[in-house]
Amino acid sequence: MTPSRQTAAAVLRRSRQRDGFAPELIDDASAGLSPQDRRFVVQLVMGVIRRKATLDALVAPFLTRPFADLHPDTLDLLRLGVFQLVFLTQVPRHSAVDETVELAPPVVKKFVNAILRKVSDAVTDESVGEMGPAAVPVNDGFRRLARPLLPDPRRDLAVYLSAAFSWPGWLADRWLHRHGPDECVRLGFWFNAPPPLWIRVNTTKLTRVEYLKKLFAANIPAEPGEHPQAVKLTDGARIPDLPGFAAGEFAVQDHSSMLVASALAPRPGWQVLDLCSAPGGKTTHLAELMHHSGRIVACDIVAKRLDSVADLCRRMGVRIVHPQLLADGIDAPAGPFDAALVDVPCSNTGVLGRRPEVRWRLQPNEFEHLIRLQKSLLTTALSRVKPGGVVVYSTCSIDPDENGGVVRAVLNEVKGVTLEGEHTAIPGRPSDGGYWARLRK
């Protein structure tokens, strides 16, 4: 029994019980593992959560009882084994089956073994060029199955997309209507691939070129991004082990998120309101753009999340941020401020690869509540800036109702505000999806 598979099974159990999000749970559980084992745990856990619906669709034809009759731990093991068989071609099939069976309690070992061997027999090593009931999407292509195990896309494309790319059915319907078949397939491949790791170089301490030289000296492959502070790491790495971590020479932040503080373009000496600041990536970016001159009031409604902002500020050497705990978003400090950033709670549909649990926890009826909250927070931010002040509204969503829809609704309701610009980041071009709009009062 390998420690990496055992750890992965334990993390999957905790994730299922909503004991936290996968990245944090992996960090907690894999502290004593070798770097190689830890990478395998990340691959297994994130992959199983992302591809849960696909894995279930591949298992279902071989079951003689409903999914509801299976113990959740047994179902986790089946998914863990099938993920290795279908998506990890570097893992020998006998290892994927035998090592997973070893994790099972004696009472279900034969059952788990039988199902995994049937799935193994149904998976070929051949590729096919298009969607079909015997074609499962892997990496950037399709792997042929020896028999049809998935829905037929010619009969119901949304049902196929849901099973093959592992989305809830309602989301497949929503995206098919909004984006069309070709873009849904592209999004499916992007959101099921391990996302690249982006970091933002703290250019108040060193230049991006200087930091890239440090990475190359440490044999860590990396390349610059379009944003002047962005660096993409092309291989997995443990964040605290990267050069300059303790010295605050970088922060982990996706490329699309770096665009948000830059859109606000705060000047040194400004008074800035960061209305939804946790976990602090955009907050510290604002401070860097202000050259640590001025004042940023960083707000949140959860004390623990606000602590993460303070922790990041300490590591990054930021001293102009003043955390403030709110009862709710509308009791923000009065100001007036020169500018405000309102990075609102949202559906997270632009970051489903990085936050895989979101696709299973998000419900379609949440959009109405989220949009009301987003409009309220944007309206509050506008009320806190002085005449001539700037507000940037941002999300990590690709749903237009949460993005331009919210901004235009507020523009219709609040007089004396103009839209100066907006940008939609498309998932995979080159990073996560998201949106920002810059408004002036």
Q: So which residues are the catalytic ones?
A: 396
Closest by alpha carbon to 162, among 154, 146, 177, 173?
Answer: 173
In one-letter notation, the amino acid at residue 73 is: D
Residue 155: strand, helix, or coil: coil
- What CA–CA distances, in Å, run from 369 to 346, 372, 393, 399? 10, 5, 17, 14
Residues pairing with 128 in the sheet:
142
Structural contact between residues 335 and 238, judged by C-beta atoms closer than 8 angstroms: no
Closest by alpha carbon to 194, among 237, 227, 152?
Answer: 237
Tokens 């907050």 -> residue: 283
* Helices 3-16 and 35-50: angle between axes, nearest 10 degrees: 40
355: DSSP letter: S
Pairing of strands 337-343, 418-425: unpaired
Structural contact between residues 197 and 203, judged by C-beta atoms closer than 8 angstroms: no
DSSP string, 257-309: HHHHHHHH-PPTT-EEEETT-TT-HHHHHHHHHTTT-SEEEEEES-HHHHHHH
Q: How many residues does the chain have?
A: 441
Q: Sheet of 337-343: strands edge to edge? A: 321-325, 295-300, 271-274, 337-343, 385-395, 434-440, 418-425
